Structure 1
Amino acid sequence: MADEPEITGTESSGTEAPEPTSSGAKNAGTNARTNSGANSGTEPETKPTAAGDAAPAGKIATKPTPARPRDTAWRRLAGAFRPHSSRAQVAAAVLLAALGFAATVQVRALRNTDEFTNADRTQLIQIMDGLQQRSRRLETDIGDLQRSKADLVSGADRRRSALEQAQTRAQTLGILAGTLPATGPGIRLTITDHQAAVNASLVLNTIEELRDAGAEAIEINDQVRVVASSYVLDGQGGIIVDGKLLPAPYTIDAIGDARTLATAMRIPGGVVDEVSQKGGLASVLERQTIQVNSLHSVVSPRYAHPAPDKSPGSSSR
């Protein structure tokens, strides 16, 4: 008989020994590295694997979480409302503010000059004529004063010139103070009041309007001379001027440029219109000669005294 080949192995184990392969060798190396990491007490370093590679043994493959997208629309909207200022914008703002201020001032100035808007052509011509006459009168006064100054400075007879100037000055002050009678061109204003609607306030406004128009002497009802210290009050049955009761109608004589004074009384919204609104009647007559004969009784002041002359180099506080 031919010899049968011997069968080597262990039958008692009941298992066959696996054949050694190259993959098995690789697994063995991997297991060895894994065991050495476990023995060292640290987890093995996990490296990212390429697509298609199998996950390491004992690990669950997870995908990387994508970053949360930013809401760029809201950020852009917030940036649009965020204030951004530059030097050019600041300069433009300052220029616009200055332009607005100048425009406001100009509008207010134009409003202030609209007081004669309702006046017709005839009334405007009268107002212009009155202003021109006042200007000529002031120019004449300036010329007289300059001639007087020249006579006092370079005149041959300075003493006589000084005496004449003093007399003229005393007469002027006497007329203005109401201690001397006066005569000259002017107007007579008559206010008729049947309803007792004309009060002291209206008469006082009339006096102020006459003074503003250049009246140099004023007399009421041929009885009271109006001066700087005069006062007007409401009384029973009339008005009280400087302590004297004057009944209606009221006659006011004023010496000055007749045309200018008449224009001031007839101006729209002036004395004539105001008296008419109160139910009275005001008439203005221009005359070449007005007589003002009432005199004002001068009373010595109780509180006011002449100020002492200032010495050279002294300063007042």
Structure 2
Amino acid sequence: MSALDPDRADDVVDVDGVDDTADSIDTPDTVDAVDPAEPAAEEPRRDGWATLRGLLRPRATRAQILIAVLCALLGFAVVAQLRQTRDDGLANLRQSELVGILDQTTRQGDDLQREIAELERTRAELESGTDSRQAALDAATRSAAVQGILTGRLPAEGPGITVTLTQATGTIRYEHMLNMLEELRNAGAEAVQLNDLRLTASSYFAPADDGVVVDGVLIRAPYVWRVIGNPDTMSTALDMHGGALAVIRNAGGKAIVASEALVEVTATREPTVPQYATPQPAPTG
């Protein structure tokens, strides 16, 4: 504590009756100034583990959120499509229809196996060297007959079905007829005649005011289909839930299907000469 200067005792003024001498004595003569050049005291460093946790904490960006939303929408669309495909497929068919499809598939497999066996037998005859000329002639004859039936150049007969379509309360449109032809082909139809026209792989349908145009010819109801093939397989295919006949009946048409032990397809047509396609040359060497 510093001593009171007697020369300055008169300068002390008592304002409120309280002796301020003590205050003035206790007040330090000087105040330590802070040097601006002196660096401030460092703050305590953060814990290293806390810093590492902060860096590793996941932060969702706008792009990540957008990608997550798009993935969720894509997943929902895929699930909806699979469910729709399942509902529109075999799930809605009756047991009898499923049995018919299985039987149709089995029959088609058997037909293919027989065809494979026939082709292998023909190849063996041609490669055996014994009377190969006659075997080649027989194979060419069979091939010509098959191609003649498939192209509509030759008449044909065999087991099959007849389908008669009439317009009861509605109109049978050309797309209904095209659907019929596709269903018959899928069921293994080998020869098809519609009214007086032979249908082949190049046949087409077009709309008309009072009928249907088939290969450029106008035909009118009733439409009579004569088809050679497996009767049970073709009948089952046409009568399937949502099949060709169901569509025609829903449009106001009437369909009568009859299985026949012998169906005659008498209409023929000359195949057109290809305009652009030519036979591929045989490989040399």
TM, length-normalised to structure 1: 0.66
Say which of 52, 55, 58 aligns to 2:29.
Answer: 58
Does residue 119 in structure 1 map to residue 93 in structure 2?
yes
1:128-147 matched pairs, under 5 angstroms: 128-147=102-121
Compared CA separation, residues 162 and 126, structure 1 to 2 (3 A) = same
User: Which digits, 9 at most, give the CA deviation of each residue in 1:81-107, with x for residues without a partner?
Assistant: 94279xxxxxxxxxxx9xx98x99798
Say which of 152, 166, 171 aligns to 1:178.
Answer: 152
- Distance apart, 1:297 and its partner CA: 2.4
Structure 2 stretches lacking a partner, 5+ long: 4-24, 34-39, 61-70
1:178-257 matched pairs, under 5 angstroms: 178-221=152-195, 223-257=196-230
C-alpha distance in structure 1 between counterparts of 2:118 and 2:80, whole Å? 42
C-alpha distance in structure 1 between counterparts of 2:270 and 2:179, whole Å? 23
Letter in 1 for 2:207: D
Letter in 1 for 2:264: Q
Compared CA separation, residues 109 and 310, structure 1 to 2 (3 A) = farther
Find the residue that maps to 2:236 and give its secondary structure: helix
Compared CA separation, residues 284 and 174, structure 1 to 2 (3 A) = same
Say which of 272, 292, 295 aligns to 2:265.
Answer: 292
- In structure 2, the partner of 1:315 is none
Give the number of aligned pairs: 242
Letter in 2 for 1:83: P
C-alpha distance in structure 1 between counterparts of 2:95 and 2:258, whole Å? 22
1:243-282 matched pairs, under 5 angstroms: 243-282=216-255
Find the residue that maps to 2:249 and give its secondary structure: helix
C-alpha distance in structure 2 between counterparts of 1:67 and 1:162, whole Å? 105
Residues 170 and 252 in structure 2, CA contact (< 8 A), matched pair in contact too: no
- Distance apart, 1:247 and its partner CA: 0.5
- Distance apart, 1:80 and its partner CA: 9.2
Residues 192 and 265 in structure 2, CA contact (< 8 A), matched pair in contact too: yes
Residues 198 and 280 in structure 1, CA contact (< 8 A), matched pair in contact too: yes
- Distance apart, 1:58 and its partner CA: 2.5
Residues 170 and 251 in structure 2, CA contact (< 8 A), matched pair in contact too: no
- Distance apart, 1:181 and its partner CA: 0.3
Structure 1 stretches lacking a partner, 5+ long: 1-22, 25-53, 86-96, 313-317
User: Which digits, 9 at most, give the CA deviation of each residue in 1:186-219, with x for residues without a partner?
Assistant: 1111111134521111101110111111111110
C-alpha distance in structure 2 between counterparts of 1:154 and 1:55, whole Å? 135
Find the residue that maps to 2:188 and give its secondary structure: coil
C-alpha distance in structure 1 between counterparts of 2:139 and 2:241, whole Å? 41
- Distance apart, 1:311 and its partner CA: 4.0
1:65-144 matched pairs, under 5 angstroms: 79=54, 82-83=57-58, 112-114=85-87, 115-144=89-118
Residues 164 and 222 in structure 2, CA contact (< 8 A), matched pair in contact too: yes
Please provide the CA RMSD for this pair. 3.8
Compared CA separation, residues 237 and 107, structure 1 to 2 (3 A) = closer
Sequence identity percentage: 34
Higher RCO, Cα 8 Å, sep 6+: 2
- Distance apart, 1:183 and its partner CA: 0.7
- Distance apart, 1:301 and its partner CA: 2.9
Letter in 1 for 2:166: T
User: Which digits, 9 at most, give the CA deviation of each residue in 1:211-266, with x for residues without a partner?
Assistant: 11111111001x10001111111123211111211111111111111111111101
Does residue 151 in structure 1 map to residue 125 in structure 2?
yes
